[in-house]
Structure 1
Amino acid sequence: MNQPRVRLGDLSVGFIQSLAQAVRNLEHDPGALLEQYGLDSARLSEPGARLSIPRYMRLGHAAIQLTDNPALGLHMGQCSRLGEAGLAGVTAAQAPTVREAARTLIRFEPLYASNYRGQSSFHEDSQGAWLRFYSISPYNAYNRFVVDSILSGWLAQLSNLAGTTLLAERVEIEFEAPVYASQYQALSHAPIVFEAQSNQLRLSHASLNLRNQAHCPSTWRHLLQLCEKELEQLTRTRSLRERITQLLGPLLNGGREPDLEEVAARLKLPTWTLRRKLADEGTQFRAILNDTRRDLAMAYIRDTELVFGEIAYLLGFASAEAFQRAFKRWSNQTPGEFRRSQRQTARVPTAR
């Protein structure tokens, strides 16, 4: 238990700007709600300030209840600006084209947001490109707005850069069509595809090639260098154990557990080299896997209302029973006992 506690993720408080503006646009005052979550003007002005993913989801759900608008995430996206993503967003705003702005925003995502479940990605082919947001399933009233705000936000941010309204050629979303499904149509020329394999939108080459009239080559290059330095610093300060822990999150999902060979391949190391390096650090892959599962399990139970079967699936267990046995071994408590003990000290309702 001497290792740093695994977190589900966090993001820049800059994202609160679009949430607050969306609430105002829906004719409600977000002030009291933000105060409840400790997000006063001083906190929102603090350089580098971050908000945990569970707390962000609770805040978003509370804002949806305040406005009585389940499509709040789509409104948030429409209000979002590149500057809310900090240095990465300011850099993207200086990109020469929509293509480079999208690449920049996604490449430097770790500078403004992190989630153990994965990272967004940009996939270009001969016809266009997919902008893909990673899976955060299972979906519920607390996290659908995150997907909505990201996909809608990408289009709004890139439209502002291009000086014209961009529509996606196709939008795919993992969860089933919600009650406000018709409101997604403002994002795309084509019908929205729900219950898809990924959360993603597709832009044509014509859209990707649009120029940014505010582009200044020297400023763009300078900002890119600053982003590269910050990203390198993030990577350099991670130990091998931390890098493995970061890899395990996305690999665990789906009722299966990754093995040493799979992780070694992701790290671009021979299996024997990874085993030796871990031995040099006084640990083994199995120990890191168990510690990661334990810490993520505690975070899920403490910070969300996911049922134990869902948590078991997210952590690569074959069944809820196998997960509950492992958790009892780790903590001398059942998952239910641990959740009840945590609820006694919780001050804000947790998010499912």
Structure 2
Amino acid sequence: MKPLPMRLGDLSVGFVQALADAVRSCAHDPAPLLEQFGLDTARLAQPLARLSIPRYMRLGHAAIALTGNAALGLRMGQLSRLSQVGLAGVTAAQAPTVREAARTLIRFEPLYGSNYRGQSSLHEDARGAWLRFYSISPYNAYNRFVVDSIIAGWLQHLSTVAAQPLSCEQIDIEFSEPDYALHYSELGSAAIHFRADTNQLRLNHATLDLRNPQHCPSTWAYLLQLCERELEQLTRTRSLRERITQLLGPLLNGGREPDLEEVAARLKLPTWTLRRKLTEEGTQFRAILNDTRRDLAMTYIRDTELAFGEIAYLLGFASAEAFQRAFKRWNAQTPGEYRRRQRQSA
């Protein structure tokens, strides 16, 4: 059977509302652009509707081209609303404090967005916390706006909870300082560090402890129950193979190949137990690794503009040549031939 390219991830169409508002703030009508991407009013009103990550990146790139505003991602974040991230956002809006709102947005992120590259995280310590967005490198004109919109959006959402503008202590951005770097000053007086090890913002304890004047304990408790129920529904039916496939994405990134021991540690299983369970499911770790690489390779080539060397790095190959040999072995054609045929048939 011919393998089907796997999805790189998707997110709620609610994110499109912030993009439309940002385009509108630049004195442009977003409707023609959205319709070009199949996002008419009816589609945007569908419950639980999702948009693929590659399509979202192409939409953002097109919106930046339309407006001529390279900092559009920052504007998107500033104009975003908690309701646009669905049930998780509505729940966060009822959190008792900024801290609980941040925890809610991070814990229930799978309800409004998923990406094989990873999941956002909250790192709390004695002095405050980091809200960390996973790496989506290599960066280019198609994905820098995503990082900008997430960082600015977090700050906007938590400001909504506190009913006052919040200032963070520091913002770290993985990519190099862009031409529009001055626009980051709109996020407050925080120190901005480009070419950082990760994408994150820092909040101190005083900010995290700010109370939500709109908090209602009973509503908050009920919404949390709904979120937990939805999250359980998302995760309880996954097979071991599916769980490993989800883990492999972030582990592959960086030109290295994860091994069975590393995956077993992430699953909190002894290596021999993981090997036995995979045998019971009729598969092996190497087969899952190869299938994941193959499916991701096909998706990257089909849905993105990444160079083959960049794809090789993302899939854990030591070189572009090693990747191209593997791809030809999997599909009986080179990556270049596959991309050309996909573009011709589109």
Q: Is the 8 A contact 2:121 2:133 kept in 1?
A: yes
Q: What does the per-residue CA deviation read over 1:249-298, in whole Å, with 9 as the maximum and x for residues that have no partner? A: 00001111100111011111111111111101110000000000000000
Query: 3-state SS of the aligned residue for 1:57?
Result: helix
Counterparts of 1:153-302 in structure 2, within 5 Å, are 153-302=153-302
Secondary structure of the 2:192 match is coil
Q: Does 1:62 align with 2:62?
A: yes
> Deviation digits for residues 159-193 of structure 1, max 9, x if unmatched?
11111111110000000000000111222423310
For the Cα contact (< 8 Å) 2:127–2:205, is it kept in 1?
Answer: yes
- Calculate the TM-score normalised by the size of structure 1: 0.97
Q: Which residue of 1 aligns with 2:53?
A: 53
The AA in structure 1 aligned to 2:57 is: M
Name the CA distance, whole Å, in 2 between partners of 1:195 and 1:173. Answer: 6
| Equivalent position amino acid for 1:169 in 2 | E
- Please tell me whether the aligned partners of residues 8 and 116 of structure 1 are also in contact (alpha carbons under 8 angstroms): yes
Within 2, Cα distance between the matches of 1:141 and 1:305?
Answer: 10
CA contact (8 A) 1:301 1:335 kept: yes
Deviation at 1:345, TM superposition (A): 2.0
Aligned to 1:15: 15
* SS across alignment from 1:203: strand
CA gap 1:3/1:332 in 2 versus in 1, 3 angstroms: closer
Opposite residue 331 of structure 2, the aligned amino acid is: S
> Deviation string for 1:324-345 (max 9, x for gaps)?
0000000000000000000012
Paired AA for residue 327 in structure 2: F
Deviation readout 1:85-107 (Å, 9 max, x if unpaired):
11111110100000000110011
Distance 1:332 1:3 in 2: 13
Alpha-carbon distance in structure 2 between the residues aligned to 1:20 and 1:323: 38
**Partner amino acid for 2:257?**
E
Indicate the SS of the match to 2:141.
coil
CA separation of 1:136 and 1:259: change in aligned 2, threshold 3 A? same
C-alpha distance in structure 1 between counterparts of 2:34 and 2:237, whole Å: 33
The answer to whether structure 1 residue 44 and structure 2 residue 44 are counterparts is yes
Q: 2 CA distance for matches of 1:184 and 1:55?
A: 26
In 1, the alpha carbon distance for the partners of 2:186 and 2:198 equals 19
Q: Tell me the secondary structure at the aligned position of residue 344 of structure 1.
A: helix
Separation in 1, partners of 2:190, 2:115? 30
Partner of 2:125: 125
RMSD value, Cα:
1.0
Residue in 2 that maps onto 1:80? 80
Between the aligned partners of 2:310 and 2:217, the Cα distance in structure 1 is 48
* Cα contact 2:17–2:84 (8 A) shared by 1: yes
Q: Deviations over 1:142-165 (max 9, x none)?
A: 000000000000001111111111
Alpha-carbon deviation of 1:3? Answer: 7.3
Task: Tell me which amino acid in the other structure corresponds to 2:64.
Answer: I
Partner of 1:334: 334
Deviations 1:20-49 (A, max 9, x none): 001111110000000001101110000010
For residue 207 of structure 1, report the CA deviation from its aligned partner.
0.7
Structure 2 letter corresponding to 1:159: S
Structure 2 counterpart of 1:350: none
**How far, CA to CA, are the matches of 1:5 and 1:247 in structure 2?**
17
CA contact (8 A) 1:171 1:188 kept: no
Q: 1:233: how far off?
A: 1.1
2:167–2:190 contact (8 Å) kept in structure 1: no
Q: Normalised by the size of structure 2, how large is the TM-score?
A: 0.98
CA distance in 2, matches of 1:317, 1:97: 44
- Determine if contact 2:4/2:295 at 8 Å carries over to the other structure: no
Q: Could you tell me how far 1:2 is from its partner in structure 2?
A: 7.5
Q: Is the 8 A contact 1:128 1:203 kept in 2?
A: yes
Partner of 1:108 in structure 2? 108
Letter in 2 for 1:123: H
How many residues are matched?
Answer: 346
Q: Residue 185 of structure 1 contacts residue 191 of structure 1 at CA under 8 Å; is this kept in 2?
A: no
The letter for the 2-side match of 1:300 is Y
Equivalent residues of 2:94, 2:219 under 8 A apart: yes
**Structure 1 residue 316: Cα displacement:** 0.2
1:24 aligns with 2:24: yes
Aligned partners of 2:76 and 2:153 also within 8 Å: yes
Between stretches 230-239 and 327-336, larger displacement belongs to 230-239
The residue type equivalent to 2:58 in the other structure is: R
My pick for the range that moved more, 113-122 or 232-241, is: 232-241
- Equivalent-residue separation in structure 1 for 2:9 and 2:121 (angstroms): 17
